Each structure stands twice: as C-alpha cells, then as structure tokens.
Amino acid sequence: MKRLAPVACALLAFSMLPAASAKPAHPARGAHDWAKTITETSEGGFRMGNPDAKVRIVEYGSLTCPHCRHLAETAMGPIVSDYVRTGKASFEFRTMALNELDVAAILLARCSGPSHFFPLAEKLYATQPEWLNRIQALPDKELQRIGGLPSAQEFLELAKAARLLPLGAANGVPESKAKACITSDAGADKLQQMHDAAMAAGIQGTPTILVNDNVVAANDWETLEPYLKDAGG
C-alpha cells in the first residue's frame, strides 16, 4: 500500500464544506424496504437496494475526501428515502483509497461487513474534520516516523493518532477487532486492487458518480437528482 499518496501531503488541501444532512424517511407500512438489502459486489463495493433496480448509482469515494463528505451529507438522505427504499434505484459505494489514513478509515468501516458499512461510514464522514485535524496537527517528525513503519503498523498508528478506534468501538467495532481489520494484509491488498481497478476504468478522482454505468457531473443532491430522473428513477 506504499503506492498511495503520502498522508502528510494528501491532507494538506483539506477544507471544511457545509453540511446539510437529511434523515432517510421510513417506507410505507407493508412496503418492502430495499434499503435493508446490502451486499458486497464482485467489484468489492457495498451495494444498498434492489440489485435489479432500473437506476444503478455507483460512487467511487474516499473517507478522507471533504467533497465526498459533502456529497454524502447532501445526497444520501434523499437517495435512500426517495429511490433506494422503494426499489427504484440501487446505490453502491466503491472505496478508492487516496492515502494511508484513508486506508485505515476504510478498513475500519468495512470491518463488520456490508450491513454495518454504511452506518459507520456516515459516522466517519460526520466526524471527518475532527480526525483529519488530529493528523494534520502532528509534528512533521512524528508523521515521518509513522510513515517509515511497515504498512500495517503505519495504518494502525494513524488510526490511533486520529482516534478512530474509540469511534469504531462506539459504533459496534470492538478495539481488538478494529486493530485486526486495520492491520490485515488481505484487507489492504483488496483496497489496492480496488484502487487499481478504478484507475484502469478511468476514474481520476473522488467523488466520481456513475448512473447506469455513465459518469455524471454531480457532486451534491441538486446536481445528481436530474440524472436519476432522466434514468427513469
């Protein structure tokens, strides 16, 4: 995983973006709630919703990306309540790790499998400014020390410095389990494979949104919804 951008450089451009979170509505009584159907896809992403939905939404995203956070906080509520729950659309999140801290956060979010991924990713986005700032506040000497460790230990030390382990524990991932996930060579290798596959597919940054396999120029709910309507959602 040393092929990813160094965390000290990748986080320098971090900036706060406004948050506008909407809580997903509950389905009508008796209706099937497709938002409870969450599976891992062959590409390694986690998909929520009807696998045969007419509208297929795929996001290539990063948990350290502030623009991904903005998209999640403006769009996930209406995507789930208006499209996924009813079966009109499915939503798949494919992680594209941008740096070593990103790897640690993604491995933590993926730790308990598909059904727990989206709630923990939501918590990580909600607290993103806090844990990113903790890393940015580290002295250069400490960042260099961490960067010189073997990959698995580097991911764990970054997770500790960002205080991701208590966040995971508060959301269903005990510390011992979180440490095992974050230091898993198999888990890190999978993220590298997903990163390489995204690059090979022409994905150049995060967030990148696909609607029915077509990249769309969307970065929030206002710009995304017209594409969903055009696709028949």
Q: Is residue 195 part of a domain?
A: yes
Q: What percent of the chain has pLDDT over 70?
A: 87
Residue 17 forms part of a structural domain? no
Model confidence at 8: pLDDT above 80: no
Cα 57 from Cα 214, distance rounded (Å): 9
Q: With 50 as the cut, is the pLDDT of residue 24 above it?
A: no
Does 205 map to a domain? yes
CATH of the domain at 45: 3.40.30.10
Give the distance from CA 5 to its chain's centroid: 17
Element (H, E) at 57: strand 55-61
> pTM for this structure?
0.87
Q: Per the domain annotation, does 132 fall within a domain?
A: yes
Asked whether residue 114 is assigned to any structural domain, the reply reads: yes
pLDDT digits (tens, 9 = 90+) for 118-170: 999 999 999 999 999 999 999 999 999 999 999 999 999 999 999 999 999 99
Residue type, 175: E
Average pLDDT, the chain: 89
Is residue 23 in some structural domain? Answer: no
Distance CA 134, CA 112 (A): 25
pLDDT at 232: 84
Within a domain: 21: no
159 located within any domain = yes
| Full domain range(s) for residue 191 | 7-11+33-230
pLDDT tens figures, 83-123: 999 999 999 999 999 999 999 999 999 999 999 999 999 99
- Look up residue 13 and give its two tokens: 């451009």
Give the number of domains in the chain.
Answer: 1
